[in-house]
Structure 1
Amino acid sequence: MIASAAPVAVIFRRSPSRLVQLIRWHLGDDQIEAGQWFKGLIHAARCDLSPSGQYLIYFAAIHRAPYGSWTAISRPPYLTALALWPKGDSRGGGGMFTGEAQVVLDHQPKEMVLAEGFDLPENFRPTSIAAHSGWTPGDLEERKALRDGWQVIAEAGLLYPVPGSRPRPFMPMRQHEKPGEDGLRLRRLRSSFERGHRTEYAVTDRHGRMILTLPNCDWADWQGGDLLYAQGGALYRLRGGSLAQGLAQAEQVHDFNGTQFAPLAPPDWATRW
């Protein structure tokens, strides 16, 4: 995800062994800053960066005491919590920034109590997304998408197979587009499944013709006229002037394959507001 008011992004790198590493990507010079690892699940779709990129809100779960699951705010690329709201389940959780010190949590009002030992600056204003928080799948993700410039262009109920069972209807496939430069648009097709998710990306021209597809792509977004994306455990940048020439022209920013877990203690600045 990319900060709205600063050239910085964060990436959650998942390993096959239920480990997640937080990465900070400095978009101005494509420098990569490796951060802390987490042993458990982080739901990336329920995370968000503050406009400056200084703060990250994330939803994590280990499904054991003392919290089970929780929403926290940290300073990337560290996950050390500055504020933590216990959740206990996966019905909702996470949040989004509506300002540098304003955050909306996908928690029910009764779940808006900070865990013992945590506090917030006086100017920080957390609110609950709605009285039905946690009961409307995709509501938080949709709000974030619309805020970040994605537009809903299609929605239709489709049939998808689940391994070992007959095809059945799932939640609708929802297609979004995000305008780029020179009439180009990044198209995202996201479908919700009973087990997992699938997201596909493509680039279309001003006439709606597909000029580029991104197979097996984990994430994609615009930065100015450049296309940024994650694929096969690596980050790439495809310059705007090279889009028509295809993915062969993409520059690999960093390859994370082979990186192994290593404990990383947070510096002092990452442990305080």
Structure 2
Amino acid sequence: MKALPPCRLFVLLARDAPLGVIFRRGPTKLTQLILWHTDMDTFELGDRHVGNFYPERSDLSPDGKLLIYFAANYTARRRNKGLPDTWTALSKPPWLRPLALWPNFGTYYGGGLFTSNIIVQVNQDPHAHRVSEGSVDQTSWPAGKPPAELDFPYDQLFWDHDDQFFTRMERNGWTAVEPYPSMLGPLNPDATFTELVTGAYEAPELPVHLRSVYSKPRPGSNESLVLLWPHRSAGYYGRSESPSYEVHDSRLKIVTSLSGAIWADWDQRGRLVYVQEGKLFTADLNIPGKFDPKEIADFTPLDKKRVRAPQSAGQW
């Protein structure tokens, strides 16, 4: 039997709750949402979207109860129904049924970020938000008017795929690091181990093939997770080069590469969790320079059973 090609996964973790949303892509134009309970490593299958989906321009509320996402569908059937080709929406994960909907004109804007559980920055095209000076707000409320405490400021920021990704990362504890911080200097093979450990070696400037390097410390340890972000970008799902990750131990001066990982983070329990070849892993870091990977779930097979959204998915 021919092996299934791996799907592509992207994950958003809630900041204040043991929840995450997994975006499973595969085949190309199909994205399914999966709610991940990180305390028990259990999963809830959610809605599917056929078309373009932009998880790097989406965000999860700190309590994990709301998702703001950016999506597109350019089929004639949607246009004939008067629906937008591209839109930003607020929903209850793992469901996509809009509680609030903002139409967009193309992909120049779109998506948003949660400042808190009740403040959602909407990156909205000003022409879509208000067609002309003094015209009616184009926002629609499929679930009725939102709770009074919810606020939706329209920042009209220029957030392309990577810029919004980095903005969210910095909010979640990642720090931009330049030049490249590797203590073993993989980008300069001429440096000796003694030079690196004693600090006599100066790290090289950021290579031209890397746009950015980010680091996130593991709470209560000497370890940091380092992200190497490629320069050529077409969004997370469409990039020509995938990001890569390393674990750095600042005390022992050891770097461990997460070979093949396209997403990684410290979860709410402080575990290293990462995505590789359509699978979700965690790993113990008890032995310096090595880790013991443990598979949490394999999302390669597409569950053909479609899940019906509960009535509560369309209610505030």
| Cα 1:111/1:239, change in 2 over 3 Å | farther
- Identity across aligned pairs (percent)? 31
| Number of equivalences | 258
2:266 is the alignment partner of 1:222: yes
Query: Helix, strand or coil for the counterpart of 1:125?
Result: coil
| C-alpha displacement of 1:243 | 6.7
Q: TM-score, normalised by structure 1?
A: 0.86
Matches within 5 A, 1:88-167: 88-112=105-129, 113-115=138-140, 117=142, 119-130=145-156, 133-134=157-158, 138-154=162-178, 159=208
Which protein is richer in strand relative to its size? 1
| C-alpha displacement of 1:175 | 0.5
Structure 1's unaligned 5+ residue stretches are: 161-171
2:92 is the alignment partner of 1:75: yes
| Cα 1:68/1:212, change in 2 over 3 Å | same
| C-alpha displacement of 1:209 | 3.8
Partner Cα distance (1:124, 1:60) in 2: 22
Deviates more, 1:43-52 or 1:120-129: 120-129
| C-alpha displacement of 1:225 | 3.2
Q: Specify the code of the residue in structure 1 equivalent to 2:293.
A: A
2:214 is the alignment partner of 1:176: yes
C-alpha distance after superposition, 1:59-87 (max 9, x if no partner): 10112422111111111111111111011
- CA contact 1:188–1:200 (8 Å) conserved in 2: yes
- CA contact 2:262–2:275 (8 Å) conserved in 1: yes
C-alpha distance after superposition, 1:221-271 (max 9, x if no partner): 00243101111111111134367432xx22111111122444322101111
Aligned to 2:224: 185
| C-alpha displacement of 1:128 | 1.8
C-alpha distance after superposition, 1:185-218 (max 9, x if no partner): 0000112425543211110011584432122222
Query: Helix, strand or coil for the counterpart of 1:142?
Result: helix
Q: Specify the code of the residue in structure 2 equivalent to 1:268.
A: Q
Structure 2's unaligned 5+ residue stretches are: 1-11, 130-137, 180-204
Partner Cα distance (1:202, 1:212) in 2: 6
C-alpha distance after superposition, 1:59-116 (max 9, x if no partner): 1011242211111111111111111101131112100100111100111344333137
- For 2:280, which of 218, 235, 244 is the aligned residue? 235
Query: Helix, strand or coil for the counterpart of 2:243?
Result: strand
Partner Cα distance (2:177, 2:212) in 1: 8
Matches within 5 A, 1:245-264: 245-246=290-291, 249-264=292-307
Larger Rg: 2
Partner Cα distance (2:159, 2:114) in 1: 20
- CA contact 1:57–1:71 (8 Å) conserved in 2: yes
Query: Helix, strand or coil for the counterpart of 2:106?
Result: coil
Partner Cα distance (1:225, 1:4) in 2: 12
Aligned to 1:268: 311
Partner Cα distance (2:254, 2:286) in 1: 17
Q: Which runs of 4+ in 1 moved over 4 A?
A: 155-160
Q: TM-score, normalised by structure 2?
A: 0.75
